[in-house]
Structure 1
Amino acid sequence: MERDVHPAEATLRPQHLIVTIFGRYGRARGGTVPIADLIELMAALGVDAGVVRSSVSRLKQRGVLVSDRADGAGYRLSESLEEVFAAGDHRIFETRRATPDDPWLLVSFSVPERERPLRHQLRKLLHRLGFGQVSGGLWVAPGLIADETRTALQQAGLDGYVELFLGARVSSEPLAEAVQGWWDLSLLEPLYRSFVDTYAPVLDAGPSDRDAFSAYVAAITQWRRLTYLDPGIPFALLPDGWAGVEAERLFGELHDRLEPPAARFVAAVMD
């Protein structure tokens, strides 16, 4: 019988789902995922073989996946991305929230005019890490991502243009109001609410191992995006009734409920 497609799958790109599979299961199983196994796993997500192959080709062109020399029919994540995925594990699977008294991480950068394109790279990287913007060349985030930020800048070869500071804010404007200027919270709130609306019904569904895998991979893929839009802003500085509280609780429950049957499905395919 054909499986009903999970509601989130229609909005998640196949490349993103493939990256989740490699990050969550490929790394834990020696690194390599045979293409035949990947096609079967992606079929559970409603993606056909042709789309899987073309998506893998694009990921190879981007340097995300590499062919396994010991197995021409398999692929693995590029070794250069290991620290990126390790940092992603912390973001996705660990609850990380700063408190209002924790230090803030400030990033200031200066790029010579002759290297102007690097400014765009720096802004793009800081945005990807979840930084808010205080002014044109000054960005802010909770101090708990200091190590992750330092590593990301070093890997991108941009650390020489940046100064990092940890400290407290002493301005007179209420901190909660400042936070709402540094981050576009109007963007985040509906994304959290959409996550809750999409995945809360999964907890009542009692899915098969195959469907648990489908929902789990889709949930991780969508949650990963949210964790990089919000780097752990203290809840006390966010609006009342912030949907992120419910979304974090829901993801924890999804992980506890879906991870074991999803792992069984992967084992059945790959062992």
Structure 2
Amino acid sequence: MTTARAAADPAEAAEAADLRIRPSSAPPRTLIVTVYGLYSRRHGGWLSVASLIGLLASLGVDEQAVRSAIHRLKRRGILVARRQDGAAGYELSEEARDILREGDERIFRRERATLTDGWLLAVFSVPESERNKRHQLRSQLARLGFGTVAPGVWIAPAHLYDATAAMLRRLDLTSYADLLRSDHLAFGELSQKVRQWWDFEQLEPLYRDFIDAHGPVRESLGRRGTDEAGAFAHYVRALTDWRRLPYLDPGLPTELLPADWVGIRAADLFFALHEELEEPARAHVAATLAGQPGQPGQPADG
């Protein structure tokens, strides 16, 4: 089968980053995309360079690394330079906003599909003369978390229809693919079929990496708590490490997963961290942005 590889943000998609990257080593560009995804839209959609340097300092990233990462994100069309009230800063490009908006629904979705929901089939045929389009289509379906039934036939839980249709329209790939709603009628055990269509052996160590990296944070919070800057640092790193995983595991029904599936424990950990860290992390961002040139005094509605 084709191994599903995914990047949950445009920077990772552009570089096809190694999924086994250790959680503690997320590069500055990836952390910046997380910060923009979490906070820029609540603060007018724009962040000054000075604000980014201040926020990334809480993550142990120095000024030079921030500026270098911003330059790379600008070059890839992810960030767009704009001055505001005389201050230099950046906002997300329209394409990056679309991808992150789609990511919000995926990353923060806790509900899994059910057996009664049915399946989404993506059936495509691309002429050999346009094999670059075939590669793009396969890459994007893998990024969305589709499994492979057969060459040209990919499958996902039915709830991915909107995201898939939006991707095909955005990349002008609709003439190459059909999207079909389906049910599995026969033959064989569906729980065995999904293990052929998705690579659980690839997923398991990724989930264990996440638990190993962030489980101690959860335990420490239970004993000592943390300040707002610490909450921000833990939350951004946890979300950065988590956000690619829901794309590899597209919310398959629990009944079809291996017994005591580690992905469920990883999800429980992420959402526990989200509940405990999100509010103090947001407070730290508001305090850091307050008084910065060009930053609005009050956040816009999210």
Band of TM-score, shorter chain: over 0.9
Cα deviations across residues 24-71 of structure 1 (Å, max 9, x unaligned)? 001111111100110111111111111111111111111110012445
**Amino-acid identity (%):** 48
- Displacement of 1:9: 6.0
1:36 to 50, 54, 74: 50
Is structure 2 residue 41 aligned with structure 1 residue 22?
Answer: no
8 A Cα contact 1:203 1:257, kept in partner: no
Cα deviations across residues 4-34 of structure 1 (Å, max 9, x unaligned)? xxxx763212111100000100111111110
Query: Aligned AA for 1:224?
Result: R
**1:159 matched to which residue of 2?**
174
- Displacement of 1:93: 1.4
Unpaired segments ≥5 residues, structure 2:
1-21, 291-302
**1:192 matched to which residue of 2?**
207
Q: Distance in 1 between matches of 2:40 and 2:196?
A: 40
Q: Distance in 2 between matches of 1:127 and 1:255?
A: 26
- Displacement of 1:94: 2.1
Pairwise CA RMSD: 1.3
**1:5 matched to which residue of 2?**
none
Q: Distance in 1 between matches of 2:95 and 2:87?
A: 20
Q: Distance in 1 between matches of 2:111 and 2:168?
A: 21
1:132 to 122, 141, 147: 147
TM-score (norm 1): 0.94
Structure with more relative contact order (C-alpha pairs < 8 Å, separation 6 or more): 2
1:261 to 270, 280, 300: 280
Is structure 2 residue 67 aligned with structure 1 residue 53?
Answer: yes
8 A Cα contact 1:9 1:45, kept in partner: no
**1:90 matched to which residue of 2?**
105
TM-score (norm 2): 0.84
Unpaired segments ≥5 residues, structure 1:
1-7
Q: Distance in 1 between matches of 2:131 and 2:55?
A: 43
Q: Distance in 2 between matches of 1:204 and 1:188?
A: 24
Query: Aligned AA for 2:34?
Result: T
Query: Aligned AA for 1:13?
Result: P
8 A Cα contact 2:143 2:247, kept in partner: yes
Of stretches 15-24 and 205-214 in structure 1, the one that deviates more from structure 2 is: 205-214
* Structure 1 ranges of 4+ moved more than 3 A: 69-72
**2:271 matched to which residue of 1?**
252
Judging by fraction of residues, say which structure has more helix: 1
Cα deviations across residues 148-193 of structure 1 (Å, max 9, x unaligned)? 1100111111111110001101221100100000011001111112
Cα deviations across residues 64-85 of structure 1 (Å, max 9, x unaligned)? 1001244551101012332321
**1:12 matched to which residue of 2?**
26
1:209 to 228, 234, 237: 228
Q: Distance in 1 between matches of 2:219 and 2:257?
A: 30
8 A Cα contact 2:23 2:209, kept in partner: no
Q: Distance in 1 between matches of 2:244 and 2:162?
A: 20
**1:232 matched to which residue of 2?**
251
8 A Cα contact 1:9 1:46, kept in partner: no
Aligned length: 264
